[in-house]
Amino acid sequence: MRIPDSLCRLVVLCLLAWLPWVAQAQDDPGQTLLESLDTTSYVEKGEAIEAIIASGDERSRRWLEALLGGKLQRHKASGQFVVVLENRGRHWPVVDALGFEEAGEMSRRELDRIGINNALRGQLQGALAVLDLHADEVDERREAARALLGDIDATLAEPLQALIDSEEDGEVRRLLEQALAIHRLGQGEMAAVEDLAGSLNSRVRAALSSASRSDDPQLAQAAGAALVDIEQKMKLNRGLETLYFGLSLGSVLVLAAIGLAITFGVMGVINMAHGELIMLGAYTTWAMQQLLPGQPGLALLLAIPAGFLVAALAGVAIERGVIQFLKGRPLETLLATFGVSLILQQLVRTVISPQNRTVVSPDWMSGSIMINEGLSLTLNRLYVLGFALVVFAGLMLVMRRTRLGLEVRAVTQNRAMARSMGIRATRVDILTFALGAGVAGLAGVALSQLTNVGPNLGQNYIIDSFMVVVFGGVGNLWGTLVAGMSLGVINQVLEPWAGAVLAKIVVLVFIILFIQKRPRGLFPQKGRAAEG
């Protein structure tokens, strides 16, 4: 039977199309490495994986990742190795496994997948980590070494020892030594217990816990003793972590209460709208991010003065519009400012949205600082803590080194005498309320980095702010700082075993009992007005 000319031409064109790839594959040593994977023996595949690792080929990682993901396959007709990009439908887009160039689409019936079993899957995961140990970046090598903890087998022990001898970074060496020690501990070596003693890593603790149940009584006793020592260190680190979170919560309370302490101390005003001033500062941060999309760091830095100004102007409006007409009438002031707080909440719900808004933290505030493997400090809380201390120091400078601070202290101690000395008490009231409101706005800026921004944000902190002011001493900045930090730590200590609600009740009862003994707080005001 005569073959049609058109079919002959098609066969010739296909052969001509494959010739360049065949020539390239014959010259590329990677072809030999990949061909060694195309076997039915899993033992031989394991040896082929080791050969790929030892080859030092820069494509090794991509090959092993594709093999682990089931995407390394071979074309049945041509023998070409390809990496499948997406295995959906009948025709899959692929790239050449040697040059990683696009190779069009191939039918799944035309391809044979290079299969692996669970043992090879574990070997591949370890092999990928070993490849990362050759990275130029120290952080990448550390992460790779940390990933190997508990995943070392006999095939990796020897190459890892060679890497330890050549590694320059001490942290990477320590992690690799621990990884090898965990492997040796699994083999029943007593010396491995000494190498792992004192480590706070969770995988080390798991390995020691398993060894403490060993049939070897000496090994079990040594591992148990090492675990007891580690547990003591873990308790200490958990205590330090609780202290850190308590100070972080306390710094938020200080920021929320310090403005209230100023206005309450100078004017005797119970401002129930103080929480909404905090909310305005948080929404200002969100608005700045809407104005500067994709630049959360710059938006946050600009939100600090903007949040202060917005809340300060709102405070001046509240003082001029409501409070100046109710001076000396604390009950009416309380009710009026409570009404203002409801108006501000509803205004935000109407103008913006009743739904919570998310403020994106910049990269330099994300993540955490690892002190050790049992203790890490989240960066956003660390920045808020530092920010609270900076604001506190700034307010102390204003109160101690400026004319406004001198006049505020004079009005606080004796308003009538200050008036007789020529101090314009009304002007001091306006500036003081603006300053206290502005600091509340700064508290909102800080809170936007810890929680979502919503119309009810301030309500969560108004009661705690009053407790801080009363506990520390009305109008005393040092008292506000000490009280805020103390209540933050106490809350954090009580919450794990009492729950959030019961912890607040316990704190409230404590403050009530404390006020019975010291009605003026930790740091009472001085002056005739305070004595009267």
pLDDT digits (tens, 9 = 90+) for 472-494: 877 678 888 998 899 888 888 88
- The predicted pLDDT at position 392 comes to 92
Average pLDDT, the chain: 83
pLDDT digits (tens, 9 = 90+) for 257-292: 888 888 876 677 788 888 899 999 999 999 999 999
Q: Which CATH code fits 238-362+377-526? A: 1.10.3470
Instruction: Please report which confidence band the pLDDT of residue 22 belongs to, taking 50, 70 and 90 as the band edges.
Output: very low
Task: Provide the token pair at 355.
Answer: 């739904």
CA distances from 31 to 38, 97, 103, 460 (A): 11, 9, 16, 65
- Chain Cα centroid distance, residue 193: 33
Distance separating alpha carbons of residues 524 and 123, to the nearest angstrom? 68
The tokens 């530092």 sit on which residue? 386
Task: Provide the token pair at 14.
Answer: 């296909």
- The answer on pLDDT for 443 being more than 80 is yes
Alpha helices by DSSP H, 212-295: 217-267, 274-291
Cβ-based neighbour number of residue 431 at 10 Å: 18
Sketch the domain layout of the chain as residue ranges: 27-118, 238-362+377-526
- Chain Cα centroid distance, residue 151: 27
State the Rg of the chain over Cα. Answer: 34
- The predicted pLDDT at position 160 comes to 77
Largest Cα span, the chain: 125
Q: pTM, whole model, 2 decimals?
A: 0.72
pLDDT digits (tens, 9 = 90+) for 213-259: 888 888 888 888 988 898 898 899 888 998 999 999 899 899 888 88
Task: Give bridge partners of residue 113 from the DSSP assignment.
Answer: 73
Residues 6+ positions from 139 with CB-CB distance below 8 Å: none
pLDDT digits (tens, 9 = 90+) for 64-99: 888 888 888 888 888 888 888 887 777 888 888 888
Alpha helices by DSSP H, 29-93: 29-35, 42-55, 60-68
Distance separating alpha carbons of residues 236 and 242, to the nearest angstrom? 10
